Amino acid sequence: MSMLQVETDSLGRPIELYYEDIGYGPPVVLLHGYPFDHAMWEEQVFTLASGGCRVITYDRRGFGKSSKPADGYNFNRFADDLKAVLETLDLHDVTLVGFSIGAGEVVRYMSRHLGQRVTRFALVSAVTPSMIKSKDNPDGADDARFDDICTRIRADRFAYLDQFVDQILGGTGVSRVMVDWVKSLAEPASRIAMIGCVRAFADTEFTGDMGAAINLPSLVIHGTEDRVAPFATNGKRTADMLPGSVLRAYEGAGHGLFATHGAMLSEDLLGLVRTPPSHTLPPPVF
C-alpha cells in the first residue's frame, strides 16, 4: 500500500495519505469528491492511463485509506497536502482535476501556492466560488442548511450517505449496483472528517482565490441540473471568474458526473491534457 506522509500531529504521530500512481506520460492528479475516496475516479483513470497519461489519485485526509486525524479539515490544509503530494512525487507540468470539494482544493492551491508545477486544470461539479448565501451569492445555502447536515451525520451518518448518494445518482440511469458501490466508497470516511468538511463548505469563500487571475488552459465542467452545486450559482460563476477557462455545460446532468457521464467526462479531460499550454481548448465532446 502506497502511503505518503504530509505532516505530523501535535503528538508527533504521522499523518499519511494513501495514493495510487498508474501509467506513463504527462501527469494528471485527480482530487475526489465528498464524502468518497480516490476510487470514484475508476472510469477516468482507465481512460487517461489508456490514453498515455500518468494518473495519480489519493484519498483526502479523513477519507478512504488515509490517516484520520482529529483536525486539519480546511482548504488551506488540503492545499498544503496537495503541495506535499506534487513535491514528494516530483511532478511537473501537471494537469489538476478537482471534483466538487476537490475543485475548491485546486483553486486554493493555485492561489496559496501560486500554481507551482501545474500547467492546466479542470473543475468538475465545482463548489466554487461559494456555497454560502451572501450579497454576491443570494441563491447559496444558509448556515441552517449546513447545521442540519452536521446534525444528520452525527445522528446516523450511514443514513445521510444513503440519502446523499441517491440525491446525486438516483433517477439518472446509473445501475443500482453502481449506486451501491459509490455508497461503499464513503463508508470508510471519518465522522470527524465528514463534519469538518461540511463546516469548510460553510465557512469558505473562494472569490478572492479566483481573483488571482488563474490564466491557464482550464475546463469548468458542470451539469445544468446539479442540485448540490447549482449550475448558475457555481458552474457559470466559476467559469466567468477564470479568464483562461472554457465552460462545458452537460445538459440535463446532475452532480455525479464521474458516474452518470463517466465516458464523456473522461474524454473531455483527455482532451484537456493533450492541449498545449499556449493553445485554445478543443471543442466539447457530445
- Positions marked catalytic: 100, 226, 255
Candidates 126, 119, 116; CA nearest to 31 is: 126
What are the two backbone dihedrals, phi and then psi, of residue 143, each rounded to the nearest 5 degrees? -60, -35
H helices, E strands: number in the chain: 10, 8
Query: 141-164 burial by CB neighbour count: b if 16+ within 10 A, else e?
Result: beeeebeebbebbeeebeebbeeb
Prior bond of 35 cis (ω within 30°): yes
Strand boundaries in the chain, DSSP class E: 3-8, 14-22, 27-31, 54-58, 94-99, 118-124, 218-223, 245-250
Rounded to whole angstroms, what are the CA distances from 267 to 20, 166, 276? 21, 25, 16
Partners of 20 in beta bridges? 57
Partners of 16 in beta bridges? 5
Partners of 186 in beta bridges? none
Q: Is 191 left (phi over 0), alpha (psi -120 to 50) or beta?
A: alpha
Cα–Cα distance, 65 to 3 (Å, whole number): 9
